[in-house]
């Protein structure tokens, strides 16, 4: 009975704000666990490439009010969806006019076990983006687990993993050297149906993030952050961070939780209940005795941004009706009676940052 109760919650993602996904309708989940180990998969066709039109999917999307007000036009690009199975799919964005699927997606042998097959995600240019995501919104309580490793997003050189050293974040962020920042999302929980977007869109839709953000003196870092729903909204960066410093969560900047080693696998898990986010990462960290990093945060008490899938989960103390206004239209930050679906993102979601590749294996989603 409890299992079917949680399934029914999948269809109750109502009263979302206008910029929340209107296409997050779930098909009925008929299993309690969804798995993909990539052993029986082959990348044997190209997606149906379509023009990447600048749609208005909220103020920070490519066709949204924030960028229209600056007269910013999107460059010509293509989008494609590659479905791995009924539950998992890949979204690709590229400015290449004739893209080859194997530049972005491949099934290869595990570097540590030739008999094991793994998924390789790659973004050869910083204007490419590739993400692994669920086809539908996630349920009320769930666990995600997977392996990620052999990370090639950023290095210790001046180019930081980029090709040339003149790459910029334009047109969405002007006069910024993109190559100063490289990384990828180990896992992000977002409040809207995920697609590759400009980095500003992503910053305004994150609930919880495990990522690598290689810049300046911070290289090969693992950052674990929840977004602070009580904080003011920065136009470029969104909500402020509640960072995990390796021991606990606190309201501070994105200090690294640990540093990863490139040629290793890491086991990652994330659990969502209506009032808690919990995570665990196991593997070899630089300069750490422990090979386990874990923590938990009470989303209800800490007002983790848009944690509530349904209005009845919302802590009234988190409500923020002010939001931002563009061209006379107000976009409230976190209104009363609002709810926000959960989706996960793994990979490089930014269409104006990040260049490299990463391996993924043995992904499981358990429904509680």
Give the tens place of pLDDT for each residue, 215-250: 998 999 999 999 999 999 999 999 999 999 989 999
Say if 42 falls within a structural domain.
no
pLDDT digit string (tens) for 20-39?
A: 433 443 445 667 999 999 99
Residue keyed to tokens 């002010």: 322
Residue 191 to residue 18: CA distance in whole angstroms: 12
Can you give the pTM of this predicted structure?
A: 0.91
Number of domains in the chain: 1
What percentage of residues in the chain have a pLDDT greater than 70? 91
In whole numbers, what is the pLDDT of the chain averaged over residues?
A: 91
Q: How far is CA 193 from CA 21, 84, 93, 201, 363, in A?
A: 6, 17, 15, 12, 19
Say if 162 falls within a structural domain.
yes
The whole-number pLDDT of residue 134 equals 97
The stretch 78-100 carries a mean pLDDT of 97
In 3-state terms the chain splits into helix, strand, coil percentages (rounded to 5) of: 10, 40, 50
pLDDT digit string (tens) for 121-158?
A: 999 999 999 999 999 999 999 999 999 999 999 988 99
162 pLDDT more than 50: yes
Structure tokens that stand for 187 in this block: 């896992």
Say if 81 falls within a structural domain.
no
Provide the residue count of the chain. Answer: 368
- From 366, 306, 358, 309, select the one nearest 120 (Cα to Cα): 358
Say if 46 falls within a structural domain.
no
Say if 206 falls within a structural domain.
yes
* Residue 327 pLDDT grade (very low, low, confident, very high; cuts 50, 70, 90): confident
Say if 74 falls within a structural domain.
no
Asked if 118 and 108 count as a contact pair (C-beta separation under 8 A), the reply is yes
Say if 41 falls within a structural domain.
no
15 pLDDT more than 50: no
Domain extent for 154: 2-35+138-367
Say if 174 falls within a structural domain.
yes
The stretch 149-174 carries a mean pLDDT of 94
Asked if 173 and 351 count as a contact pair (C-beta separation under 8 A), the reply is no
């Amino acid at each position: 009975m409890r299992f079917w109760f949680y399934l029914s919650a999948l269809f109750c993602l109502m009263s979302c704000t206008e910029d929340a996904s209107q296409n997050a309708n779930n098909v009925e989940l008929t299993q309690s666990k969804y798995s993909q180990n990539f052993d029986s998969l082959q990348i044997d066709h190209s997606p149906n490439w379509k023009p990447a039109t600048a749609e208005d999917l909220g103020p920070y999307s490519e066709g949204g009010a924030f960028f229209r007000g600056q007269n910013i036009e999107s460059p010509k690009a293509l989008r494609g969806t590659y479905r791995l199975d009924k539950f998992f799919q890949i979204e690709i964005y590229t400015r290449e006019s004739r893209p080859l699927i194997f530049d972005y997606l491949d099934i290869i042998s595990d570097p540590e076990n030739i008999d094991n097959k793994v998924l390789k995600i790659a973004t050869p240019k910083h204007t490419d983006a590739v993400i692994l995501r669920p086809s539908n919104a996630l349920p009320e309580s769930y666990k995600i687990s997977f392996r990620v490793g052999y990370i090639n997003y950023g290095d210790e050189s001046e180019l930081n993993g980029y090709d040339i050293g003149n790459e910029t974040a334009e047109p969405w962020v002007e006069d910024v050297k993109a190559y100063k920042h490289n990384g990828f999302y180990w896992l992000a929980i977002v409040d809207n149906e995920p697609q590759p977007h400009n980095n500003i869109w992503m910053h305004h839709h994150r609930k919880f993030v495990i990522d690598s953000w290689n810049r300046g003196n911070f290289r090969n870092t693992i950052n674990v952050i929840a977004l602070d729903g009580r904080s003011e909204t920065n136009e470029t960066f969104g909500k402020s961070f509640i960072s995990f410093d390796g021991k606990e969560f606190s309201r501070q900047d994105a200090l690294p939780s640990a540093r990863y080693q490139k040629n290793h696998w890491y086991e990652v898990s994330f659990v969502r209940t209506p009032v808690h986010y919990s995570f665990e990462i196991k593997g070899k960290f630089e300069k750490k005795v422990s090979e386990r990093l874990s923590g938990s945060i009470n989303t209800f008490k800490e007002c983790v941004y848009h944690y509530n899938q349904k209005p009845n989960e919302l802590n009234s103390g988190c409500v923020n009706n002010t939001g931002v206004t563009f061209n006379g239209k107000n976009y409230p930050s976190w209104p009363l009676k609002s709810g926000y679906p959960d989706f996960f993102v793994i990979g490089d979601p930014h269409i104006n940052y990040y260049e490299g590749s990463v391996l993924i294996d043995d992904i499981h989603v358990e429904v509680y």
